[in-house]
Structure formats: structure tokens, C-alpha cells
Amino acid sequence: MTTTSAPALPLQYPFPPGEMGTPPPILDWARKHRPVCPVRLPSGATVWMVTRKDDITRVLTDPRFSRNLVYDGAPRFVGEDFTSMDGGIFNLDPPDHTRVRHVISRFYTRTGVEAYRPLVERHAARLLDAMADGPNPADLVPAYAAPLPLHVSSDILRVPVEQRETYQSFFRTQTNLAVSPEEVATATKAVAAFTGDVIDAKRRHAAPGPAQGPIEALIHAAADGEISETELHGTVAYLFVTGSEPLVSPLGTGVFTLLVNHRELKDCLNDPALWPRAVEEVLRYHHNGVLGLPRVATEDVHLHGVTIGQGDGVCTPMLGATWDPAHYRNPSKFNIHRKTDGTATFGAGPHFCLGAALTRMFLQTAYQALFTRFPSLLLAVPEHDVPWELDLFFTKPATLPVAWDSQP
């Protein structure tokens, strides 16, 4: 897209992607020409999209923009997805959001997530052993990028992975932009039922003493009257929604990006202390979604000459923030040595991503384990032939064929 060709408005979502997992070019056009731009979602709902970092931060921190989407007619991507589930911290505004989030926040601090590093290392080693014993070339998505987050999340939430596997198919339906509203609603009901089953089972087998995991902490808080039963169910569902699938995207996409940026990967292999910098740049360069979940204006807000009316939905694509040239020099260049980091990808304000520290620890451990085990790893197909998922909420390669030197 050139800056001289103005697209028809409202823009139609999903947007045509950029090359090799990079942001859709329309985001750059909107940032320059329509910083508050109307977008029509697959559901038919029209929302406003803001694409400049300062404006995105304003929306995320301004209490006039609510995350409460539990009402008839709320803006949805396709249908009644996970944002329609009452009581989850997805859909709570302060002070209720603050109260519920406090119950589980200790499990997701920098100190708290370090307790999970050994289990990430253990699952990574097991999957990489199987990969080494399997075919070469291999598809990294089913071999590593998809199962590693699922197994780690299942251990953190203390739920058998076999129980989660059925749930995963429902979550993918909830985030598929090409399915019908009926399919989305069916998946959401299944997720709610699954969540209830997990809570009931944990209550039946509750052990005395302090809560050993986030779900147990929420159950204890509900028993003590700190949170409601609705908040318990909604927030446990939130933990399942965010626990694994959103990590598949930066794991697969990040490995791909490192493989096509040979100098950056070589620097990390020569100096393992650079892996945290590589993670920060992956998080800046990519985001696991494009448009971002809607917020709703609770009163009229004026921005760049546009009136965002009370009740209007507003989306804040974090790629708009992390590729804003006013804040990131040459944002289209993948550069692990830049001084800025990936913090903006996790949002701002009360809903700053609960799992930010976990994501960083997980990716550092997963990347380092993979490339330490297979330092000769390379793409098994030309980089432009890697297929990308086009119908999902998350940006990620559909397959990632890789090969390696099998000689020690």
C-alpha cells in the first residue's frame, strides 16, 4: 500500500498481513493518515482503531474506556467469544479488577515465575529429545512451539494436560475469524463447562494449607468471600485462555524471525547473555495478535478531531505502538541491540498483561534450550514459503519446517 492510495473506510478486518509475520501495512497508513480510524469487524460491528503509541497509552490508561464487554451488543470479533464471559479479569474495571487480580498476582511476579523455570527447562528438554530422535527436517510447530506452552501452562495451573487438550480446540474456535457466530458461541459454552468441571474437581480434592497454584488461590478467595462465584469461574477461564495459546505465537514467530536474521542469532549463540535482549526485540517486533481486544467508551471522548461516542468500541493494536517511528528508530529492522525493550507490547494501565514476566522467562528459556540443542538449526524451506495463519486472532506460522546437522 502506498501513502497516496487511500483505502475505503471503514477498513475491513482482518487486514492483509505484512511479509513474513510483520504487521499489516495498513497500520502504518492509518498511523500517518487516520490515527483514529473506523474498522469493521467480521461480526459486522464497527470500532475505532488508534495506532499511535501515545494515543494507545491514553486509551489503555483512561478510565473512560471500559473493558466491561458483558452486555448485549458489545463489540465482538465474530460472536460471543471469551470476552463475553462474565466475571473474568478480561472484563472487569477497577476496583473489581484490582481486587480479583490481587488474588493471583503473586504467582506472576518476576520472583514468582522463577519457580516455573525448571519445569519449562524439563518440558523443553523432553520435547527436544523427541525431536532429535524423530524426522529431520521436522515441523517445529507440532514438535515444540505448540506443545511446550500447553504442558507448561498445565503444570502451572495444576491441571492434567490430557484434560486441557480438548479445551484447546474450543479456544482455537473462539479466536478463529473465519468461523460462524454459532460455532464461537458453542465453543464459549464448552469452555465455561470445562472451567466448571476443573473447579468442581479441585474443590472435591482440596488439600489443607496454603494455595499451591492460581486456581486454588481463586477457590480459597471465593470461599473466604473475597471474590464472587462468577468472578471465580470467569477468572479461571481467563487463565486457561491466556495460559498457553498466546505463547505459541511468539515462540514460533520468534524462532522464525531469529532464523531469518542470521547475524542476530549468531550474536546470541556466541553470547548467551543476549537471549533476554532477543526476547525483548521479538516482543517489540511481533505481537501475538493484530487489532487487540476492544474497549468501550463510557462517555464521549475527542481525539484528533474525531468524536469517539459513548458506547463506541475502540481497539488498540499494540503493533501500532511498538512500530511507531516516533518512539522506535527504524522499527521495521529487527535489532536485538536496540536500547528500547518490548514492554509496550504488554499494554499499559490496570490491564497491563498479568503474564508479562512469565512470557519473558518462558521465551528466554525456550529459545535458549532450542538453539543450544540445535545450534545449526535452519529453515528447511525458503523463508518466503513458510505459510502463515490468516484466520486466527494470533499471528503465527501455520507450519515451520526446520532442519539441523545431526552430527555432533
CATH of the domain at 151: 1.10.630.10
Domain assignment present for residue 353? The answer is yes
pLDDT at position 288 over 70? yes
pLDDT at position 321 over 50? yes
Q: pLDDT grade, residue 2 (50/70/90)? A: very low
How many Cα atoms sit within 13 Å of 209 on the Cβ side? 4
Structure-block grid coordinates of residue 254: 520468534
* Stated pTM of the model: 0.95
Residue 399: partners with Cβ closer than 8 Å, 6 or more residues away: 139, 141, 386, 387
pLDDT at position 8 over 70? yes
Distance of CA 322 to the CA centre of its chain: 15
Q: pLDDT grade, residue 254 (50/70/90)? A: very high
Residues of the chain by 3-state class (helix, strand, coil), percent to 5: 50, 10, 40
**Among the residues of 80-180, which ranges form H helices?**
96-104, 110-114, 117-133, 140, 147-157, 161-174
Distance of CA 191 to the CA centre of its chain: 18
Mean pLDDT is lowest, of 137-151, 250-264, 392-406, for: 392-406
Long-range contacts from 300-307, C-beta under 8 angstroms, 24+ separation: 301/62, 301/64, 301/65, 303/35, 303/36, 303/50, 303/55, 303/58, 304/35, 304/36, 304/55, 306/36, 306/48
Question: pLDDT > 70: what percent of the chain?
Answer: 99
Q: pLDDT grade, residue 378 (50/70/90)? A: very high
Residue pair 246/288 in contact (Cβ under 8 Å)? The answer is yes
Domain assignment present for residue 3? The answer is no
Average pLDDT over residues 81-104: 95
pLDDT at residue 359, as a whole number: 97
* pLDDT tens, residue by residue, 65-80: 999 999 999 999 999 9
Beta bridge partners of 36: 50
Mean pLDDT is lowest, of 53-62, 164-173, 324-333, for: 164-173
Q: Which domain holds residue 172?
A: 11-403
Residue 182: partners with Cβ closer than 8 Å, 6 or more residues away: 79
How many residues does this entry show for the chain? 408
Average pLDDT over residues 244-269: 95
Following DSSP, what letter does each residue of 151-195 receive, concatenated?
HHHHHHHT--HHHHHHHHHHHHHHTBTTS-HHHHHHHHHHHHHHH
Average pLDDT over residues 50-74: 96
* pLDDT tens, residue by residue, 136-193: 999 999 999 999 999 999 999 999 998 888 777 888 898 889 999 999 999 999 999 9
Rounded distance, CA 141 to CA 310, Å? Answer: 43
Q: pLDDT: is 390 or 219 the higher one?
A: 219
Q: Calculate the average pLDDT of the chain.
A: 94
pLDDT at position 1 over 60? no
Domain assignment present for residue 301? The answer is yes
Residue pair 73/47 in contact (Cβ under 8 Å)? The answer is no
Please state whether beta strands 36-40 and 11-12 pair in parallel, antiparallel, or not at all (unpaired). parallel
Angle (nearest 5°) at CA 27 between 23 and 29 = 130
User: What separation in angstroms does the CA of 226 have from each of 207, 232, 240?
Assistant: 20, 10, 21
How many separate domains does the chain show? 1
pLDDT at residue 3, as a whole number: 47
Domain assignment present for residue 408? The answer is no
Give the containing element (helix H, strand E) for 146.
none
Residue 260: partners with Cβ closer than 8 Å, 6 or more residues away: 20, 379, 383
pLDDT at residue 408, as a whole number: 59
Q: Does a cis peptide bond (omega within 30 degrees of 0) precede residue 137?
A: yes
Decide: residue 93, CB within 10 A, 0-12 exposed, 13-18 middle, 19+ buried: middle
Q: pLDDT grade, residue 88 (50/70/90)? A: very high
